[in-house]
Structure 1
């Protein structure tokens, strides 16, 4: 994962080093219209122990789902070894607001620890959200929807462009743009993606459909039938194809004559009749016509046969 997110390496490590290094990084960080104002650990800082009850959850936490099995394992580890990596926090009044280390905090609470190690930094709201995003992205802890929602929150809360958001978290602008597009999907499909029932590839294919009903129908089919992204693309392409135009054709009987002939045959035969005229297609080919005559019983059939001049030899 380190190779995948090299651009994020400047995040958490920078902020827990000495003051000079941290301040230098904060100044040179590329984010055109944003002032993060991040300082290093306060002079009185460093790692210290505080009551677990004094650490509160972050309103900027982008992650909403946690693997229960992995969390259980972490709880057991914390019971035996304690919290080995300090939580990153900022001081808010008499409390410490969590910036990074949500799983460690939850495990500490579940393990009934009295204190936890923390590192206090000064960080604006923007920096707190940025660091929370960075930590989870580095650890691959966010599902695609949580990642997209994190970018959207960063963009909306601080009025950033997609390019500025990308600069903040060390991602390519196209990656941020593609992630944000997932939020255009209906809630039901976003839930499928968050739960891993559909991949981001499936989601991108569904985004090409304008109808939410069609998106939902194909999403359920993809899950039920285990469709690959390629197979889903074929279905979507077929669904988006324009309907075939009806073949150009010309009736061999003018409309007024067809009506006159129908009326006269009805009078002559004394029963209902239907005429479907033959047709000539644009390519010159002929389509057969038909003449339908109604009768109610064998006696009427004999009458009609006699009228048209048919005499049976039987």
Structure 2
């Protein structure tokens, strides 16, 4: 990973200029057909300024596109803008054998189709599958936010497919590692709850507050958020109360064979609140257990070696502290 070109600065680093740079719009009418020169295979033309143009029909979709939902109203607005001002930024494509594959610009591609255009301005880059996946992530993160589940799914897919760590991915797409870790945790939610996040019925904050709960309780609380408009803080409080209730519902079977409730002091609302606070800080599940005497135990959960390294770095007081420094 270290010897590969880092794309953390995103499309600006690749294209050599800002995505927000204001320039005259490119339109098919600006092409001087008399001066246009055909590229070798006849699929692409160049205008008098050297700008490349491709017919819409020869551009294949990006197989690494993180975005699964496109707002049709936004596409229509962008189509109106394209009709009036042209396309300000050429689409990015790559050659795959004898085909052209979209890398970045699917919203512009869809809007150009809606505007009735037959061809679009493009830049052609020689990119690997991994670079294409990174650029698809970067473009969507920088332009219009994906929903949290789409982000999480794309991050997890990238980590699995390219066998890299969360830290490496965070560096390559220029986000904080905690952002990657917190998003991926959302994939642990109940499927119905995840769909509510995708549909915009639950915010990312609500979803994170539900993570400590069982999937049954997640569904119940999610429905209350949708119907009652509960705040994130209220959900956090209800989650704490639910954790206390769950603990108080436990029974311990003693040596005499009689089942008894554990001491109430073993699980107080204050302990549940501390758990929530630590989970926010660490980005993972934390369990606290305290006895009536005041001593206790803290359990920090991690999913894999990568998350363990992330937590170790977070908890280490200095970069030099390794595993031997832990008591």
How does the TM-score come out when normalised to structure 1?
A: 0.64
Partner of 1:256: none
Distance 1:47 1:99 in 2: 18
1:17 paired residue number: 16
**SS in structure 1 at match of 2:52:** strand
Compare 172-181 and 73-82 and name the one that shifted more.
73-82
Q: Partners in 2 of 1:175 and 1:235 — Cα distance?
A: 25
2:92 is equivalent to residue 88 of structure 1: yes
- Equivalent residue for 2:178, pick from 160, 174, 181: 174
8 Å contact kept, 2:52–2:123: yes
1:236-255 equivalent positions in 2, closer than 5 A: 236-241=239-244, 242-243=247-248
Give distance in 2, aligned partners of 1:232 and 1:52. Answer: 47
Report the CA distance between 1:85 and its aligned residue.
1.3
Q: Within 5 Å, which residues of 2 pair with 1:68-217?
A: 68-209=72-213, 211-217=214-220
Q: CA deviation at 1:165?
A: 1.1
Q: How far 1:73 moved relative to its partner?
A: 0.8
Structure 2: which 5+ runs fail to align? Answer: 1-5, 18-45, 252-327
Q: Work out the CA distance in 1 between the residues paired with 2:54 and 2:249.
A: 71
TM-superposed deviation, 1:9: 6.8
The corresponding residue for 1:225 is 228
- How far did residue 123 of structure 1 move? 0.8
Structure 2 Cα separation of the partners of residues 101 and 244 of structure 1: 54
1:176 CA displacement: 0.4
In the alignment, is the contact (CA less than 8 A) between 1:90 and 1:96 conserved in 2?
A: yes
C-alpha distance in structure 2 between counterparts of 1:141 and 1:72, whole Å: 18
Q: Secondary structure at the match of 1:10?
A: coil
Q: Distance in 2 between matches of 1:87 and 1:47?
A: 11
Say which SS state the counterpart of residue 248 (structure 2) adopts.
coil
The alpha carbon displacement at 1:47 in A equals 3.5
- Which structure has the larger Rg? 1
The aligned length equals 214
Q: Give the C-alpha shift of residue 101 in structure 1.
A: 0.3
SS in 2 for 1:117: strand
Residue 219 of structure 1 and its aligned partner are, at CA, apart by 0.7
- Once the two structures are superposed, residues 160-180 of structure 1 have per-residue CA deviations (whole angstroms, 9 ceiling, x without a partner) of 111111111111111100010
Q: Does 1 or 2 have the higher relative contact order (CA < 8 Å, sep 6+)?
A: 1
Could you tell me the TM-score, scaled by structure 2's length?
0.61
CA contact (8 A) 1:54 1:94 kept: no
Q: Which residue of 2 aligns with 1:255?
A: none
Matched position secondary structure for 1:98: strand
CA contact (8 A) 1:8 1:138 kept: no
Query: For 2:170, what is the secondary structure of its paired residue?
Result: helix
